[in-house]
Structure 1
Amino acid sequence: MGASSSKEQNVSSEQREVESLAASTGSTSLLQNAFSKLVDPQTNAIPLQSLQVFAKSPKTNRGNAFSLNYKSTECEALKMPDSLLGLLNHLGPSIVDLFFITDKGGVNWIEFVRGYLKCCGRMPVSGLLNTLLRLFSATGVKAGIPLKLEVEAIDDGDYKINGSLLPIDVLMFLWMCWAMLWNSKTWNVFKEKECLYLPDISPLVLSAVVSCAEGGIGLELWDCDVSVLDVQLPVGKFLTWMLTTVTNLTECFTQFVNARLQNCTSSEQGTPESSSSSLREISSEKAGNSRLLTCGKAWAISLTIRSTISQEILNPYFPSNSDASDENLIYRSSLHGKGLNRFWSNVEAYLGPLLILISATSGDANEDCTNSRKWVVGALIHQGF
């Protein structure tokens, strides 16, 4: 096992190198525990299926690692593409195939650590985003989704991605990232026996369309259905958009990998008593249109902020934190009354970070207007008023 082999006298320079890199991430103990839980004692390697498949063998007491096996979904607003669950079902095998090199006996300690570093090691954000998109491409191929992406290997283990994406592809990619984050946050609550909750992220997809499509700024996107929008987004521009707009997207993958390795070492494998009410609360209250800050908006905002504020904005939308949804609420017009005086009396002298959302309707006030448009504008103030 990795825990014992690292203490032996005759340790190869290759093993010392990968263990040193793992130590720099603070994950040595996690990797040792996960390896000891998943390893086959006879081969001193992890069987391939233990990394790919969601199962626990009663004979070997080995757990799973990277699979996602949701049977159903609940969407905040958008209709889910039929191929999404198939995409998620192939995520685990794709992670193993891309990042973990297997020997005839499975994945040994060195390759296990090296594979982890490819997923969660220290690297530029641009490299992690490239890795995330490469994972989406490989998973799409396994799921039979016709993506116009080509991955080209270049020197030093780097990869270049060419091609383009449709808005529906961007939606699937972002929902894949969300599914990994949702799983890492809710695994101990649901154990995948609940359906996957999918937030409405159409404004996020349209942001990518406007930034990446040829003439995107001039497109008529109001009330647009992103699932049928037929515009090509060059992958180079899309990577630039991610780097400048949603840099926290990489956390979805790294948190998923770390959480799944942590969970497979847990001694508690029982099924939670009840969790369906938590998901219903998410869909009926927090994520619904009755609140300006829906789950989709909260996630979109959190992806743009690299600070603890990001987690504070998003955490109430996970079932494990469902009781803390309003603890940071300072002002809401439906509760505190409308008007600038009411607003100011609640926020004056508050010096912490403040997220403000304002909803309005635009249209002709002089006649019955059938084409009025509702919109929401937001601002994040880091030092309050």
Structure 2
Amino acid sequence: MGGAASSSSAAGSTSAEAHEQESLAAASLALPLLRAVFSRSSDLPSILSPPPAAFRPASSPPEPPPRFHDLLARLGPAIASLFFDHGAAAGGDWLGFLRGFNACCARARASLPVAQLLRVYAAACAGAGAPCGVQFQPSEDEDDDGGKVVGELAPGEIAVLLWMCWVMAWSGSSAPRVSSGEEVGKGEPTVVLPDVTHLVLSALVSAGAVADDAGVWGWEVSGAAKGVKVQEFTSWVISTVPGLGNCLSRYVQDRFRACQVDPVKESSVSTGITTSDTSDVYVLTRGRAWAISLSLRNKLSEKFLSASVFGMDPEDLLYRSSVNGKGLSRFWSCVEGYKGPALILLSAFSNGGGANVDADRRWGIGALTEEGFENKDTFYGSSGYLCSTYPIFRMLLPSGMEKNIMYCHLHTQIRTYEAKPKPLGLAFGGSIGNERIFIDDDFSKVTIRHHAVDKTYQHGSLIPNQGYLPVEASILDVEVWGLGGQKTKRQQDVYKKREDIFSGQRRKIDLAAFGNWEDSPEKMMMDMVSDPNKVQREER
């Protein structure tokens, strides 16, 4: 009786745990889909492997890091062995499968997903024979699958880890699929990896491995530099690119969904978009789009993630100074009426040679606004972000203390007298006269001020070696990308057509409305000017 009661109690406990694990897993993927994948447990290493492709960086020479393709080939087996081997060892244990899925896909505290990602990276490197300074230390408790990741990441290893994460995003369910007839080479498409130098530098500067004010200009990943400890890398991910911690969870879910679509078609990937790096002709490169997507926690993250794979849609480019011309009036003619989120990027170089900034150094900054543009003499907006795009990536979130998000002021056709005229230009943060970023109305000069003048956005420098004094720089190019989709663009087109009609009506002169010239006040005034002594008879 005692044995039966004990057996019944154990069965009840297992059943309760299974119900709990199912509820937890259902929050990420539908249970019928998970059961379908579970029925193919022996194929998990191949299911969790990315589609075959030849990856190369955009830089020259276009050669991938040593053993990078071997590392990607070991990615699927590494995930399967780390999280799903318990279920396979138990002869197809559904509960063990759920435990493994929840271990890598369920919601957890911010540091745990990063630790799991590093654990997978270390296991894949070990399987591929690639160098790796990260090790996993299992817990002393045999019944506990936990542990901690220790070690140090060299700059080159950070770049490889970031590229691995991008490939995981590339191979997700949003990747394009085509027939094998479009494949090139040895049956594998060639995929260009985005430039991640600005992200590697951001991690190194955050950890103090590279000096922010001296070592960033002309820095290369292959150059010698001190590594970053795992704890410092984790802190950088949580504070700067939190989306990186979700890469593993998203990848596993995308691979599980993809294996149920069509395994044959799923293995072939389009080369029409991913082989050419066309988006890098813009200031918004694929690498910068990916960095922005990793830093955001809203729906715009998906827009930038897609841009990092396919490049931005040229139809979303509202304004480009090199094409549309420089100046606030030309800028306004392109963005007026656009009532949706937009990204403003500019490329500039410091030419003052002052004590607080190096001369002839290019850098890029931007602002992401979630509202449309307005011509006002005051600040407006409810939410926005500032970012540094290169040479170091940073994203400065709203502080919540003030809402001086954006300022856009230009003269209209109807001008009035102003005792204290407001500055003409485009600005973000700070206050009028002390803007965090101010672009003049000619779009020839930009002024960057220290964060002490600004309570709208978080503290932090936007350019290397910024210092406390205002920095003036010459603008090379300005881009504005509309992020509101086709619906918002169509609404802007309707607005512009309506404004064109109104402008045409204002310019049109109705001659019949002037009546007879002989009876007009204009003729009387002309006669008086020509002969002021002539007596004019007044009709009574």
Q: Cα–Cα, structure 1 residues 139 and 186, in superposed 2: closer, same or farther, change >3 Å?
A: same
TM-superposed CA distance for 1:202, in Å, is: 0.3
Q: In the alignment, which of 118, 126, 129 is matched to residue 133 of structure 1? A: 118
Matched with 1:62 is: none
For residues 70-81 of structure 1, the aligned pairs below 5 Å read 70-77=52-59, 79-81=63-65
TM superposition score normalised by structure 2: 0.58
Q: Cα–Cα, structure 1 residues 150 and 279, in superposed 2: closer, same or farther, change >3 Å?
A: closer
Q: Cα–Cα, structure 1 residues 83 and 69, in superposed 2: closer, same or farther, change >3 Å?
A: farther
TM superposition score normalised by structure 1: 0.80
TM-superposed CA distance for 1:69, in Å, is: 5.7
Q: Report which of the two structures shows the higher radius of gyration computed on alpha carbons.
A: 2
Q: Cα–Cα, structure 1 residues 148 and 308, in superposed 2: closer, same or farther, change >3 Å?
A: same
184-193 or 106-115, larger mean C-alpha shift: 184-193
For residues 25-40 of structure 1, the aligned pairs below 5 Å read 25-36=28-39, 38=40
Judge conservation of contact 1:208–1:238 (CA < 8 Å) in 2: yes
Q: Cα–Cα, structure 1 residues 151 and 218, in superposed 2: closer, same or farther, change >3 Å?
A: farther
Residue 91 of structure 2 corresponds to residue 91 of structure 1: no
Separation (CA, whole Å) in 2 of partners of 1:142 and 1:273: 25
Separation (CA, whole Å) in 1 of partners of 2:35 and 2:237: 33
Q: In the alignment, which of 80, 95, 106 is matched to residue 121 of structure 1? A: 106
161-170 or 103-112, larger mean C-alpha shift: 103-112
- Identity within the alignment, %: 35
Q: In the alignment, which of 320, 324, 340 is matched to residue 328 of structure 2? A: 340
Matched with 1:57 is: none
Letter in 2 for 1:161: V
Separation (CA, whole Å) in 1 of partners of 2:137 and 2:160: 22
Letter in 2 for 1:88: L
Give the secondary structure class of the aligned counterpart of 1:344: helix
Separation (CA, whole Å) in 2 of partners of 1:151 and 1:142: 14
Matched with 1:164 is: 152
Residue 143 of structure 2 corresponds to residue 143 of structure 1: no
Judge conservation of contact 1:137–1:149 (CA < 8 Å) in 2: yes
For residues 265-276 of structure 1, the aligned pairs below 5 Å read 265-267=260-262, 269-270=264-265, 275-276=270-271
Give the secondary structure class of the aligned counterpart of 1:152: strand
Q: In the alignment, which of 240, 257, 261 is matched to residue 262 of structure 1? A: 257
Give the secondary structure class of the aligned counterpart of 1:383: coil
Letter in 2 for 1:90: R
Matched with 1:225 is: 220
CA deviations 1:232-281 (Å, max 9, x no partner) are 2121111000000010113322222112111212246247999332334x
Q: Cα–Cα, structure 1 residues 292 and 85, in superposed 2: closer, same or farther, change >3 Å?
A: same
Give the secondary structure class of the aligned counterpart of 1:278: coil
Give the secondary structure class of the aligned counterpart of 1:73: strand
Q: In the alignment, which of 19, 24, 37 is matched to residue 27 of structure 2? A: 24
Q: In the alignment, which of 373, 376, 385 is matched to residue 361 of structure 2? A: 373
Matched with 1:60 is: none
Q: Cα–Cα, structure 1 residues 75 and 146, in superposed 2: closer, same or farther, change >3 Å?
A: closer
Q: In the alignment, which of 182, 202, 207 is matched to residue 197 of structure 2? A: 202
Number of matched pairs = 344
Higher relative contact order (CA 8 A, sep 6+): 1
For residues 165-204 of structure 1, the aligned pairs below 5 Å read 165-184=153-172, 185-186=174-175, 188-189=177-178, 193-204=188-199
Q: Cα–Cα, structure 1 residues 209 and 215, in superposed 2: closer, same or farther, change >3 Å?
A: closer
Residue 81 of structure 2 corresponds to residue 51 of structure 1: no
Judge conservation of contact 2:243–2:295 (CA < 8 Å) in 1: yes
Letter in 1 for 2:38: F
Matched with 1:314 is: 305
Letter in 2 for 1:250: G
Judge conservation of contact 1:74–1:196 (CA < 8 Å) in 2: yes
CA deviations 1:146-199 (Å, max 9, x no partner) are 322232234754332222111111101111100100011326348893133310
Separation (CA, whole Å) in 2 of partners of 1:74 and 1:208: 23
Q: In the alignment, which of 263, 274, 278 is matched to residue 279 of structure 1? A: 274
Letter in 2 for 1:310: S
CA deviations 1:111-160 (Å, max 9, x no partner) are 22221111111212221111111111221122222322232234754332
Q: Cα–Cα, structure 1 residues 86 and 219, in superposed 2: closer, same or farther, change >3 Å?
A: farther
RMSD, matched Cα: 2.9
Separation (CA, whole Å) in 1 of partners of 2:22 and 2:302: 30
186-195 or 296-305, larger mean C-alpha shift: 186-195
Judge conservation of contact 1:152–1:161 (CA < 8 Å) in 2: yes
Q: Cα–Cα, structure 1 residues 295 and 242, in superposed 2: closer, same or farther, change >3 Å?
A: same
CA deviations 1:191-229 (Å, max 9, x no partner) are 893133310010010000100134633541212111223
Q: Cα–Cα, structure 1 residues 141 and 232, in superposed 2: closer, same or farther, change >3 Å?
A: same
Separation (CA, whole Å) in 2 of partners of 1:219 and 1:373: 12
Separation (CA, whole Å) in 2 of partners of 1:219 and 1:374: 14
Q: In the alignment, which of 234, 239, 242 is matched to residue 237 of structure 2? A: 242
Give the secondary structure class of the aligned counterpart of 2:235: helix
